[in-house]
Amino acid sequence: MPSYIKLLLIATIISGTVVAALQRQRRAIVPQQAEEIDASRFPVADSTTVLPADPSERAKREAISRKYNSRHVSPQITESTDKVFLSLDWDVGLPALPVGKSSSVIIGEITKAEAHMSEDKTAIYSEFAVRIESILKNDTKSSLTVGSLVSVERLGGRVRFPSGKIVTFWVSHQDLPTIGGRYVLFLTHDYPLAGVYDDSLFILTGYELKAGKVFPLDKPSPGHPITAYKGASEKTLLDNLTSALPIALMTRR
């Protein structure tokens, strides 16, 4: 079940830059710096894109985009916006292998990535198509199948305006997967902002598997459990994950 998250919206305008921050009121300030996020790889939406003409597809897109509407007083993203940054404590207390917090755990390749704006134009989210290579923990809500494509979502992305200006939207310490990348993904139905259990699958965190090595998808502060797997062998991660799965499943019963 989703945990209650108390959020404080802080909107700050610095030299024309809109920074929207959502923070737990009592969160401690950590002086250590996390790795930089390379937002140049984020999917890009076109601000002038129109909704699908097909009524069912249009309704589906509207429902998804509405879900990402601001629950707080947040300005719209426009050409005058520089960047939008959300500071969330999603990684506080998160273990390196959050199988117990995940609805499903899969290994797969990203075959498609698209960014979209929320219905009220206050946020950008991205959808990823993942071709499933292996299922380490299946989703009890909607069973997954090896070889099939599954759509997963995450806050973050970019939007391009008619002038050519691109605005970036991202969440603290969170990166986005890239097309062609092979990942272990921990997926959840817990919507990241509203504490709502949703039919969609959201990326909780993940690890990229490349040339036999492990690279955390996200970039939390140094010392976070996730960072322990940086540079580890793929075999080590998968062995540890396989060992952790029965414990997590027994805990859920």
Residues 6+ away with beta carbon under 8 Å from 57: none
Question: Nearest 5°: CA angle at 169, between 168 and 172?
Answer: 120
More confident residue, 28 or 125: 125
Of 105, 83, 243, the residue nearest 166 (C-alpha): 83
What is the percentage of the chain residues whose pLDDT exceeds 70?
Answer: 81
Mean per-residue pLDDT for 17-44? Answer: 56
pLDDT of 20 over the 50 cut:
no
The whole-number pLDDT of residue 248 equals 53
d(CA 90, CA 5): 9
Helix (H, G, I), strand (E, B) or coil at 250: helix
Element (H, E) at 240: helix 234-252
DSSP character at residue 135: E
Confidence band of 253 (pLDDT split at 50, 70, 90): very low
Q: What is the pLDDT of residue 111?
A: 98
pTM: 0.83
pLDDT above 60: residue 16 = no
User: What is the per-residue pLDDT across 82-137, written as a single tens digit (0 to 9) for each?
Assistant: 999 998 889 999 999 999 999 999 999 999 999 999 999 999 999 999 999 999 99
Model confidence pLDDT, tens digit, residues 139-193: 988 889 999 999 999 999 999 999 999 999 999 999 999 999 999 999 999 876 6
As a whole number, mean pLDDT of residues 220-235 equals: 96
Question: What is the distance between the alpha carbons of residues 180 and 186, in angstroms, rounded to a whole number?
Answer: 18
Taking 60 as the threshold, does the pLDDT of residue 213 lie above it?
A: yes
* Band of residue 29 on the pLDDT scale cut at 50, 70, 90: very low
Mean pLDDT of 69-74: 80
